[in-house]
Structure 1
Amino acid sequence: MLDQLRRLLSDLTGASEHDEFALDDHRVAAAALLVNLVSADGVASESEKIALHDVLKARFALDEHETAELIEAGRRREADAVDLYGFTSVLKRSLDAQGRAGVVEMMWEIVFADGAAHELEDNIVWRAADLLGVSDRERVELKRRIAARAKPLGAAEPA
């Protein structure tokens, strides 16, 4: 009977029995927020897609398969969303202050993956940080730190 109920709920939510991540998993909320950010400026660059993969894999200690599954779960979650609150509310309930700041840090890593911050991306990070309870001071400090590490587009690799 429980299996039938699970199948019914999976059918209703569009989730597969083989999904590795629950819809209320904070990792899915973070992935959805990052997926939203990747396409914010209208161009999902290859560098942003690679950064999305690498950031999620490293932050959540996932293997390649799990990372691909998480990104797909994030895409589905983001496609159903109408605003950032759906993601940030899960993150705020699930993570402590340091974890929420880590999400903002991941966002900046995505923003600077292509070498520059677009104003729409900056605005999304600002709104998400506010909803996550990350102070303006901490948000700006994280931005400065990640921007300093970011390689501008067209910059040569050190010899």
Structure 2
Amino acid sequence: MIQKLKKIFASAPVSEPENAFEPTELACACLLTHAALQDGTLEPQEQEAMARLLGQRFKLDNVKAEALLETARGHVAQSVEMYGITRDIKDALAHDERLGLMEMLWQVVYADGELHDYEANLMRRIAGLIYVSDRESGEARKRALRALGILE
């Protein structure tokens, strides 16, 4: 399974050595980047949220989190295909870890203070692809909104 993730990302150029990041770290960073770019712009708040969330989740310092995001941006720029990434994430992460990923994704799409229609559509698609129910995704959304101070 990890070998599958390595194959997916092996063909794209990266700014870090190929083995600098775990495949799951890179896959999650790619999904976060894809979500952040869904509305057509990468806002500074989204960039900061992604770096903070990846740093917390994978215990990376700020420099390493930024390097991971830079690598992910390169992969996302070269490929619009999400099915393989989400399939491998579904296989590599336990259900509670996938719920945590959904919460991270919700925090990124709401980092700029609004939810674009394309972002909402992407979130539904990702939830289905990683086997997270609509109800669970909604609960993750509420947790994310509370964490951002948008929802009491």
Name the TM-score, length of structure 1 as normaliser. Answer: 0.79
Taking the aligned partners of 1:89 and 1:42, their CA distance within structure 2 comes to: 25
Aligned CA-pair RMSD? 1.9
Larger RCO (CA within 8 A; separation ≥ 6): 2
Which is greater in Rg?
Answer: 1
Mark the CA change 1:77 to 1:147 in structure 2 (over 3 Å): closer, same or farther: same
Aligned pairs for 1:129-140 (under 5 A) are: 129-140=127-138
Partner of residue 128, structure 1: 126
State the AA in 2 paired with 1:109: Q
Partner of residue 47, structure 1: 45
Mark the CA change 1:130 to 1:140 in structure 2 (over 3 Å): closer, same or farther: same
Superposed CA deviations along residues 81-108 of structure 1, whole A, max 9, x for unmatched, are 2322122122112101011111111100
Q: Give the paired residue count.
A: 140
Alpha-carbon contact 1:115-1:150 (below 8 Å) kept: no
Alpha-carbon contact 2:34-2:76 (below 8 Å) kept: yes
Compute the displacement of 1:64 (Å).
Answer: 2.2
Alpha-carbon contact 2:12-2:78 (below 8 Å) kept: no
Partner of residue 73, structure 1: 71
Taking the aligned partners of 2:53 and 2:135, their CA distance within structure 1 comes to: 23
Superposed CA deviations along residues 95-131 of structure 1, whole A, max 9, x for unmatched, are 0101111111110010111112111111111101110
Partner of residue 4, structure 1: none
State the AA in 1 paired with 2:21: F
Compute the displacement of 1:45 (Å).
Answer: 1.1
Partner of residue 59, structure 2: 61
Gaps of 5+ in 1: 1-9, 153-159
Alpha-carbon contact 1:21-1:73 (below 8 Å) kept: no
State the AA in 1 paired with 2:117: E
Partner of residue 28, structure 2: 30
Compute the displacement of 1:52 (Å).
Answer: 1.0
Alpha-carbon contact 2:100-2:140 (below 8 Å) kept: no
